[in-house]
Structure 1
């Protein structure tokens, strides 16, 4: 009898444990399922522009650190991505995007209008780009500190050192040098600020003339007549080791430098009056640019890091330049600056980005791969502008100099 009772007790215990285990297993299964659902950060039913912006916010919750930096800073990369974010916000009206944009300016502009980490003394054209964000926010908020910060940036354009024929130096520490980058960093802000705030007609004309003059000088000094491409930099003094001793130009055609220049043209045309005689010249430069760049488009739709040397060892299909060309061609065609065929070229390029350079994590986070992290000329350590230099600079995913233009291209193509 005792044995029988023991056996029954054991059976009851085993059954009880089994039921408990099943309940626990079911509970754990439900928890895993819930965790899996909660782990989707970026829904795939959003447009690519919003998917990439949401991914950027997840990677860089603090917009002041958008370029893989540890401390907040005022820089062009923030302005680039946030300018794209403005377009996404205007399309979606989702408050989280506006809050992200506003927080950048709120953190870096103090109550007196002083821009933290910015130095007027540096005379660095790159620092003008984030002024685009202030132009937008001031219209929305009318906060006096944003206006004062913009006035500081505008004053930099007044004091920026120049070449003998009036071209802005890229930075004070790069004397007598014009870079293609500088046209994008400064001129759209320069034009928009003037359009909004300058009331004296003579002064307005003077500024617009000066803006067009910068493009004229780039065409004069950096254009290669044989290929139609433009060199990354030009040194009037011809003293830089990277400078051609006859022409002053750097040795190669870097895709992103060309991309900056293309975006500069289509963006500055947003603010240059229809009646200004320089407008048609910029449109002509844009058409020359588009014709030359298209000749070097890879069969995938993408472009190489060093544009004209795709068959050379070490070269690679680069994301930021490809995204910039996509945006430039799409916007140029949509606005009537370029023939309709360039919209098809832009669509082909965009498909090439999606097929070859985009990867998606299980959470839905979108990654843009094969972005050149940085490239410049001169400095310390010295950057000689050689082919080997450009193809050996760091390549990394999700560099904002690629993700920003990807968002812009996505908006422009409504993808």
Structure 2
């Protein structure tokens, strides 16, 4: 594994990007838009901050600070953030403001954290108590959304509220376990509609039809990050969430391809058009390796299997999708986007054909960010 090549790839991504037009936001580029405040960029900045945390190389911190400082005013207002959209994805970028506030002491970052928490505090909920995914997806819980919102909620609550809301956070995970997990194989369906009225859902269960790799990955990271930010490590609720996290890793190991990667639809490897996908595989490589490093997986039975699977996953991505063409490195095999609905977009129906119809792209942050996170853990565990 030539780490110098990957280090140069990361360097090039930063060098070629500005705060308005980052080269990694393929979705915005295709739409002809400048970047704003969204979870996609949040993923990339988080990866750079984790590189800084373990390497102490100032260039990563400098770029992350430049990028966030650009769109946050002195009063903490965030350019592009709209609370009234009730978009839980909008919370994700706020995770980066905790380390930036701690490292730079810029009060604007603390004020922005407070503004994001105002959305968390008022976010509409399903009757079960879970946050809506967005205003345009009322009463819906998506696995993606747990990652976007709950680790931020736990870190903010532990940092500034004395952990008084931790049981609310745990209960949202436990509801998902009860409502969205298939006990037959340990995997979780992508979406749940509490009202059971969405065109894509089963009218008895409220569930969509399939598992989607990246959503399973986001859910895995949601549990891992929440466990690491929780102020009550070792409590009954913490141990329950830890058991959920370990159980999902075990379920995913059962469907890991011999290449080390996972399929876009991980339970249907033989489906026509199914493919080994980069972003979700990167997320699970990260989950497995960081889960070991932070002690969440280290005392599980046969913990060595998680290390082997995580290394194999990362190396599998590099072998299949990390390519140099005309002297330029790129990362391929990234599903650009996938979701369900809304009502006026019935193409997004949750079918096998739908998930396999979305564009596969190179160098998008939804793949590159998790890949860098996994790379960081890979380097640490290899040392």
Indicate whether the TM-score tops 0.5. yes
Matching of residue 222 in structure 1 with residue 222 in structure 2: no
Deviation at 1:145, TM superposition (A): 1.7
Aligned to 1:306: 265
Q: CA deviation at 1:85?
A: 0.1
Q: Does 1:211 align with 2:179?
A: no
Question: CA offset at residue 403 of structure 1?
Answer: 0.7
3-state DSSP class of the match of 1:113?
Answer: coil
The answer for unaligned runs of 5 or more in structure 1 is 1-43
Cα contact 1:192–1:271 (8 A) shared by 2: yes
The one of 153, 157, 163 aligned to 1:190: 153
Q: Aligned pair 1:399/2:359, yes or no? A: no
1:66-123 per-residue CA deviation (whole Å, 9 max, x = no partner) reads: 4132313000111111111012123333333222111221111112211111101111
Q: Spell out, residue by residue over 1:120-146, the C-alpha distance to the aligned partner (whole angstroms, 9 max, x if none).
A: 111111011110111111112222221
Counterparts of 1:105 and 1:375, CA distance in 2: 26
What SS is found at the alignment partner of 1:359? strand
| 1:378 aligned partner | 341
Q: Which string of whole-angstrom CA distances, capped at 9 and with x for unpartnered residues, describes residues 133-182 of structure 1?
A: 11111112222221111101111111011111211111122111100001
Q: Does 1:236 align with 2:194?
A: yes
Contact map agreement 1:64 1:74 (CA 8 A) in 2? no
> Paired residue for 2:377?
412
In the other structure, the counterpart of 2:39 is 76
Output the CA distance in 2 between the equivalents of 1:337 and 1:109: 34
Structure 1 residues 282, 47: CA separation in 2 closer, same or farther (over 3 Å shift)? farther
Partner of 1:287: 246
Aligned to 1:351: 315
Distance 1:51 1:266, change over 3 A: farther
Q: Is the alpha carbon distance of 1:271 and 1:403 closer, same or farther for their aligned partners in structure 2, counting shifts above 3 Å?
A: same
SS of match in other structure, 1:82: helix
Any gaps of 5 or more consecutive residues in structure 2?
Answer: 298-302
Is 1:255 equivalent to 2:237 in the alignment? no
Q: Which contiguous aligned blocks of 4+ residues in structure 1 show a shift greater than 4 angstroms?
A: none
Segment of structure 1 superposing worse, 137-146 or 341-350: 137-146
Q: Of 45, 51, 54, which residue of structure 1 is paired with 2:11?
A: 54
**Aligned-partner Cα distance in 1 for 2:61–2:246:** 35
CA positional deviation for 1:341: 1.3
3-state SS in 2 of match to 1:313: coil
Contact 1:63/1:100, CA 8 A, preserved across alignment: no
Q: Which residue of 1 aligns with 2:300?
A: none
| TM-score normalised by L of structure 1 | 0.84
Q: CA deviation at 1:319?
A: 0.5
Q: Which has the larger radius of gyration?
A: 1
The root-mean-square deviation of aligned C-alpha atoms, in Å, is 1.7
Q: Does 1:112 align with 2:75?
A: yes
- Give the direction of change, closer, same or farther, for the CA distance of 1:261–1:51 in structure 2 (3 Å limit): farther
Conserved 8 A contact 1:232-1:257: yes
SS state of the match for residue 263, structure 2? coil
Contact 1:251 1:386 in 2 (8 A): yes
CA drift at 1:211: 1.0
Name the CA shift for 1:45/1:347 in 2 (closer, same or farther; >3 Å).
closer
Distance change (3 Å), C-alpha of 1:94 and 1:162: same
